[in-house]
Structure 1
Amino acid sequence: MTAMPDRLAIDGGTPVRQVPYPRGRGAELLGAEEIRRATGVLGDGALFRYGPTAGGRVTAVEDELRRRCGTRHALALSSGSTALSTALTALGVGEGDEVIVPAVTFVATVGAVVMARAVPVFAEVDDSLTLDPASVAANVTELTRAVIPVHLDNVAADMTGIGRVATRHGLFVLEDAAQAAGVRFHGRPAGSFGDAAALSFQQGKNITCGEGGALLTSDWDVYDRALRFHDQGGQFTTSTGSRSHHSGAPFIGTNQRMTELAAAVLSAQLDRLDGIVSRCREVARAIRDALGDLPLTWRRLPDPTGEGGSLIFFTEDAKTAARFAAALAGEGIPAGQMYGGAPVYLNPAVLEQRTAWSDGCPFACPRHPTTRRYHPGLCPVSEDLFGRSVIVAVSPVMTDRDAEDVVTAVHKVARHLL
């Protein structure tokens, strides 16, 4: 049977594209400069930031992050997940404390809370797919210690509204900016609003060194505690000598250090960050404008001038969204439903409260008076919005033709499904 151009590709038609365009961000631009800087580290033979021959590359990255993000301190770490865990430890969040997180986020946000022996409390997102300040306020109890707004897919949360709630109730604010390096909210960088923030430089992020992260803060005590925690507690002796970080009594920590090799690659990527975010924003805006004739509801952007290039829209129902995402993928467009269109508390590990050290024991402790249970319907607004959402990848190496193909494909699918 001959393929029909107007028929959806998943139904036997001819796809708009035979080969999807590249969907990565900073990883798509890895090139000669990253190789040159990484080779320099290998030539020096100094991969460890605290080694006697270290070239100071991690320190230089921290200095650049402080400058870009407008915070007094930055600590380079081994991943975005460890940045969240280190930040919670540095803030003093611990056993039995409640931490409010959005229903829509990556599982690492929840994992960091559980690793701190605290209890995740899920709040609704609004049509920006970021934390709804009103839901944050509604979930505060006498045990609430912190709130983690997540800047999801390059869109900053409403830090003004969340900040008011946190101030009113005396809560720490830890920004999860893993997906928002270079993003701004009303002129200020994401990561500069809270008591601390976490960045990620994993392969799929705006800039990358494969794995890596950073903690940002303007509070000396938070920085000092994080600095010690990420390097085995901060005071110890090895066969090559002793190491002591700043102040305070020693405590047991862990190893979450960034290497000089990762920092060398990241330093080149940092030079590219502004251009990456600007190009992705430009492409996303052009595509949204070109699709303005369709009955699609676009994700609300709290600060359209500061977002980092997000293409997410909502259909009328979850069934249509799943079909729309599959059809776009069939047309050669990198698209889907973020995290399967399900809130994070429906992840089996979270839903069943399973950890590596306890099989199904609730996220609680002896001093916690109630046990939190998670279930479908816990955050109905978030479940509805996320279930109806479709995400289309945006990349800094997209050409105008790539963007035109997205527009063509969305129009094609819409003719069949809307």
Structure 2
Amino acid sequence: MLAANGGTPVRTKPWAPEFISSEEFDELEKEYVLRVLDKKRVFRFYHDQLADSETKQLEDLYKQRTNVKHALAVNSGTSALVSAIVGAGIGPGDEVIIPAYTYIATAAAVLIARAVPVIVEVDDSLTMDPNAFEAAITEHTKAVIPVHMKGIPCDMDKILEISKKHDLIVIEDVAQANGGFYKEKPLGSMGDAGCFSFQQYKVVTAGEGGLVTTNDDVIYTRASIYHDSALSYWGTKLFENVESFPGENYRMSELNGALALAQSQKLDTIISKLREVKKTIVAGIKDIPNIQLQRVPDPEGDVSYSLIFYLSNTEEAKTFADLLNSEGIPNGTIYNNGIADRHIYVNWDYVLDKRGASEKGNPWTCESYKGNVQYSKDMCPNTLDLLARSISISLHQNLTQEDCKDAIEAIRKVAKHMSERMEIHQ
């Protein structure tokens, strides 16, 4: 009998911890942070110690991990996106295509660069639909930002093919998929630039922080200048063929660099455990007839911290979610989760209203923009349908085989009840 009907729940113990990253804090993080304090140097560009910088070591680690020529550490994932966008020469008058399901920072970064975001559908991978991407290209389109959402790699073959065909810049948003791959290529290495985040909800954390990866000398130099317009004063050598211009202060501190460096050394171990957890649960539920597992363009490259599957309609998803919660497996339908989720375009109020930081600085009304992009809350019906029908379960590297068995048993128990109920009503 279902727990919701008075039966015994499958599980009464707590589920996974909320954070993946900070659960891994141990002596290594303490050692690296204390090393900064012992050096009494928390500013990265201090005098002649540039090679000894924790932040520089973090950049070197990601250059090696992603096999790219350049890496630039910044103070947030949003700063990484803005620096990459400006670095690529994108600005007023340009359109940048983004998915309807991503954190609002993806859209905000485009607007901060004074470009215009164009929102397109996701497909059943919950990442950008390549067909919707191509259909949205106009004469004003300058770039695309595919987002590897919830650890799932985008269909990069198609996105790169379309981008090459239309001569578009590709900036990968890897904020939610650090350590993932697509066909053995590291995420963040395939586009013209890749952008990472070290915020606490991410797989590794520095509290706040971000990083840009690129093989392009000009993008790297421009991104570096924009992340610190006083960069030349610190004795940093950049490419001489790029003129300086006004920028921001997006510098990463040595404390953030040290924490991210320690955390990033654990990334492969964390992801290996996550993948085993997800593979175990997927193997135990993949034969259930009335659920559809999220499609993953490259399952081997999945970071694997979320398990998502779809029901046939919104009402079934709501019922399934409630019953599964009663069985002791926390979950939610992504679209109907009781909060204004800023990962869904319908909740991007200032974007839908075309509201800039000021009227004169509005990217949609500036003289440079000749396009006419339109927004509405019902503009991406396929995205809303998928999110409304989806069940999302957070996974964690500390889940045991017993935990996985509980998840499998609870999902199968609820699915069986739902199937029997459907047969009765037929």
- Calculate the TM-score normalised by the size of structure 2: 0.89
Residue equivalent to 1:300: 295
Contact kept, 8 Å, 1:83 with 1:199, in 2: the verdict is yes
Q: Does 1:162 align with 2:159?
A: yes
1:375 aligns with 2:376: yes
Alignment of 1:34-113 (within 5 A): 34-52=29-47, 55-113=52-110
Aligned equivalents of 2:98, 2:119: Cα separation in 1: 5
Q: Which residue of 2 aligns with 1:171?
A: 168
Q: How does 1:139-158 map to 2 (within 5 A)?
A: 139-158=136-155
Q: 2-side partners of 1:250 and 1:64: how far apart? A: 27
Residues 71, 228 of structure 1: CA spacing in aligned structure 2 closer, same or farther, 3 A cutoff? same
Instruction: Give the alignment partner of residue 121 of structure 1, picking from 97, 114, 118.
Output: 118
**Alignment of structure 1 residues 346-365 onto 2, 5 Å:** 346-347=346-347, 348-358=349-359, 363-365=364-366
Q: Which amino acid aligns with 1:345?
A: Y
For the residues of structure 1 that align with 2:320 and 2:358, how far apart are their CA atoms? 40
CA deviation after TM superposition for structure 1 residue 244, in Å = 5.5
Residues 140 and 371 of structure 2 are in contact (CA less than 8 Å); yes or no, is this contact kept in structure 1? no
1:315 and 1:321 in contact (8 A); partners too: yes
Question: Secondary structure of the equivalent of 1:8?
Answer: helix
What per-residue deviation string (whole Å, max 9, x for no partner) do you get for residues 307-333 of structure 1?
A: 111311111112322333344344443
CA-to-partner distance for each residue in 1:362-389, whole Å, 9 max, x for gaps? 8342233343221133122222112211
Retained in 2: the 8 A contact 1:118–1:364?
no
Shift of 1:125: 1.5
- Residue 310 of structure 2: aligned partner: 314
Displacement of 1:50: 0.8
**Equivalent pair of 1:145/1:171 in contact (CA under 8 Å):** yes
SS in 1 for 2:78: helix
Does 1:210 pair with 2:213? no
Moved more, 351-360 or 220-229: 351-360
CA contact (8 A) 1:364 1:372 kept: no
Change (3 A) 1:332 1:353: farther
> 1: CA distance between counterparts of 2:193 and 2:24?
29
Partner SS state of residue 222, structure 1: helix
What's the TM-score, normalizing by structure 1? 0.91
Matching of residue 284 in structure 1 with residue 278 in structure 2? yes
What SS does the corresponding residue of 1:284 show, helix, strand or coil?
Answer: helix
Structure 1 equivalent of residue 3 of structure 2: 7
Residue 239 of structure 1 is matched in structure 2 by none
Cα gap change, 1:327 to 1:81, in 2 (>3 Å)? farther
Query: 1:96·1:364 contact (CA, 8 Å) conserved in 2?
Result: no
- SS for the counterpart of 2:300 is coil
Partner of residue 424, structure 2: none
Contact 1:96 1:368 in 2 (8 A): yes
> Does 1:25 find its partner at 2:20?
yes
Query: In structure 2, do the counterparts of structure 1 residues 228 and 367 end up closer, same or farther at CA, with 3 Å as the change threshold?
Result: closer
CA distance in 2, matches of 1:362, 1:325: 40
Displacement of 1:417 after TM fit?
3.8
Query: Aligned partners of 1:76, 1:339: CA distance in 2, in Å?
Result: 33
Identity of counterpart residues, as a percentage?
38
Alignment partner, residue 345 of structure 2: 345
CA contact (8 A) 2:114 2:362 kept: no
Cα-to-partner distance string for 1:179-223 (whole Å, 9 max, x where unaligned): 111111111100110000101111111111111110000001110
Where does the alignment leave 5 or more consecutive residues of structure 1 unmatched?
Answer: 237-241
* Change in 2 beyond 3 A, CA 1:383/1:73: same
Greater shift after overlay, 23-32 or 334-343? 334-343
Aligned-pair CA distance for 1:356: 3.5
> In the alignment, is the contact (CA less than 8 A) between 1:233 and 1:251 conserved in 2?
no
Q: Name 2:410's counterpart in structure 1.
A: 409
The number of residue pairs the alignment matches comes to: 408
- SS of aligned partner of 1:350: helix
Give the deviation of 1:63 after TM superposition. 0.5
Q: Distance in 2 between matches of 1:41 and 1:361?
A: 42
Q: Deviations over 1:7-43 (max 9, x none)?
A: 328x896462242221422221111111111111112
